[in-house]
Amino acid sequence: MTMIELIEKKKQNISLTQEEISYIIQEYIKGNIPDYQISALLMAIYFNGMTDDEVYYLTQEMLNSGEVVDLSEIKGIKCDKHSTGGVGDKTSLVVGPLASALGVKIAKMSGRGLGHTGGTLDKLEAIPGFQIEISSEDFLKQVNDIGIAIIGQSKNIVPADKKLYALRDVTGTVDSIPLIASSIMSKKLASGADHIVLDVKVGSGAFMKDINSAIELSKLMVSLGKKAGKDVVATITDMSQPLGFAIGNALEVIEAIETLKGHGPKDFQTLCTELTIEILLVCKNASSYDEAKKLVEKAISEGLGLAKLQAMIAYQHGDSRVVDDYSFLPLATQTIDLEYKHDKDVYVESINALKIGEAAMLLGAGRATLEDKIDFAVGVVLHKKVGDKITKGDVLATVYTNGKNTDEAIEMILDAYIMSNQKVNTKNIIIKTIK
Ligand code: URA
């Protein structure tokens, strides 16, 4: 078989066989197929899609392109939680400690942020001293000792995805449902957890812009997980506006801590509670939704989740005083309140999450390329969200800046707010759960 025959085949919307998909992935990672041929294939997949069998073969082949983590030395049920990415998404910092406090083992490998979306590792690194590079022995030991570790993804996990994702990023083929499903699920399956809870974001700040695509992606990922013998649940959640109030690394750490103290923004607090409930149910640490909900509420009110976060920070060499005193986190030199200056009262109709994420990136909170250095202190805190009434003098948002691109960022934030003269209905953060 030759690569050109396979491109022709996919172009004519004829399914590729398992053998053909193996050939493509294996030869590509060996460097025997050039990027331009894989690019052509990716574009054919983008337009023609893939059958469920093709996606399964692709996922398995990618998974087997590198190391598969063995978590069998960790006693108890191991669960992984994954978000498809969004703006202000600090969920792992809350859900991981809560689930761990309730008996689930969290051995999590997270990623860095790129573009407008943030990454859990960057948020954790905003905590002075926090180490994300830990040997596999220490990782397993930590989870056995305290029930939770969040570390950087091993370099050897799914090398095929690293190559393919980089190519997709520059060929306009990221937002293809079969390619996203195989990319995410190959990494989740390689990370070794028994159960997986997926948070599939939908809306302006997410890869999936509409609910039907989010449902299709969720169903596909759940079925890929099940075929591989894992219990997988996907919760589709709203990303039509940023999640919570804070966007920016240290600011999001503060918001996560506040949420573990029970003082989080309503949308974020609800999301964290519901995802932890799903984890408890899928891991059978609770037998009903009501029981799981009571357990999560208790873990928050008694500070059990907060204590877990503090223990994890201390174990990973971070300054755990941040939990009680935010002045130990990096602070921006300047804060600027963005006021609503018009006489007419209005309501917030929408907040473009993508624009807010890009504004935070301009300030230095995110990176345009993986090599860019992040400023942990900077970002945006929204004070008004969709549905809120605004009158003259109200502060819409506060910008935390160290002077980089401040004016452009402010313009972008103001641009992201769309106002309405009429009252606006709010959306539920949890849209649908697919099991
Ligand atoms: N996240 C991933 O890991 N892969 C994708 O393709 C999209 C989001």
295 and 389 both lie in a single domain: no
Question: Mean of the pLDDT values across residues 359-375?
Answer: 88
Tell me the C-alpha to C-alpha distance, in Å, between residue 21 and each of 28, 59, 186.
11, 10, 14
Parent domain of 356: 330-420
Q: Atom 2 (ligand 1): residue with closest C-alpha?
A: 184
204 and 185 both lie in a single domain: yes
356 and 291 both lie in a single domain: no
413 and 298 both lie in a single domain: no
Tokens describing residue 61: 């082949």
Asked whether residue 343 is assigned to any structural domain, the reply reads: yes
Name the pLDDT band for 371 (thresholds 50, 70, 90): confident
174 and 253 both lie in a single domain: yes
288 and 376 both lie in a single domain: no
- For residue 114, the model assigns a pLDDT of 67
Ligand 1 centroid to Cα of residue 55, in Å, is: 14
The catalytic residues are 82, 161, 168, 183, 187
Asked whether residue 68 is assigned to any structural domain, the reply reads: no
288 and 139 both lie in a single domain: yes
Residue 40: pLDDT above 90? yes
282 and 386 both lie in a single domain: no
Given 269, 302, 323, the domain boundary residue is 323
Residue 397: pLDDT above 90? yes
Beta bridge partners of 239: none
134 and 188 both lie in a single domain: yes
Asked whether residue 57 is assigned to any structural domain, the reply reads: no
Asked whether residue 425 is assigned to any structural domain, the reply reads: no
Question: Mean of the pLDDT values across residues 246-266?
Answer: 98
Question: Mean of the pLDDT values across residues 336-353?
Answer: 97
Asked whether residue 70 is assigned to any structural domain, the reply reads: no
14-29 pLDDT per residue, tens: 999 999 999 999 999 9
Q: Atom 5 (ligand 1): residue with closest C-alpha?
A: 180
Question: Mean of the pLDDT values across residues 251-280?
Answer: 98
Highest mean pLDDT out of 113-117, 205-209, 248-252:
248-252
Ligand 1 centroid to Cα of residue 177, in Å, is: 10
Residue 19, judged by CB atoms within 10 A of its CB (0-12, 13-18, 19+), counts as exposed
188 and 235 both lie in a single domain: yes
Ligand 1 centroid to Cα of residue 159, in Å, is: 14
Output the average pLDDT for the chain: 95
> How many domains is the chain partitioned into structurally?
3
Tokens describing residue 213: 């695509």
183 lines ligand 1 (CB under 6 A): yes
Residue 360: CATH number of its domain: 3.90.1170.30
E strands present in 267-391: 334-339, 346-351, 379-382, 389-390
Asked whether residue 430 is assigned to any structural domain, the reply reads: no
20 and 137 both lie in a single domain: no
- For residue 206, the model assigns a pLDDT of 87
Ligand 1 centroid to Cα of residue 183, in Å, is: 6
Question: Mean of the pLDDT values across residues 143-156?
Answer: 93
Residue 153: pLDDT above 90? no
Q: Any idea what the Cα angle at residue 417 is, between residues 411 and 423, rounded to 5°?
A: 155
Name the pLDDT band for 102 (thresholds 50, 70, 90): very high
Name the pLDDT band for 43 (thresholds 50, 70, 90): very high
184 and 293 both lie in a single domain: yes
**Residues, the chain, total?**
435
Q: Atom 3 (ligand 1): residue with closest C-alpha?
A: 184
318 lines ligand 1 (CB under 6 A): no
Residue 108: CATH number of its domain: 3.40.1030.10
275 lines ligand 1 (CB under 6 A): no
413-429 pLDDT per residue, tens: 999 999 999 999 999 99
Residue 113: pLDDT above 80? no
How much of the chain exceeds pLDDT 70, in percent? 99
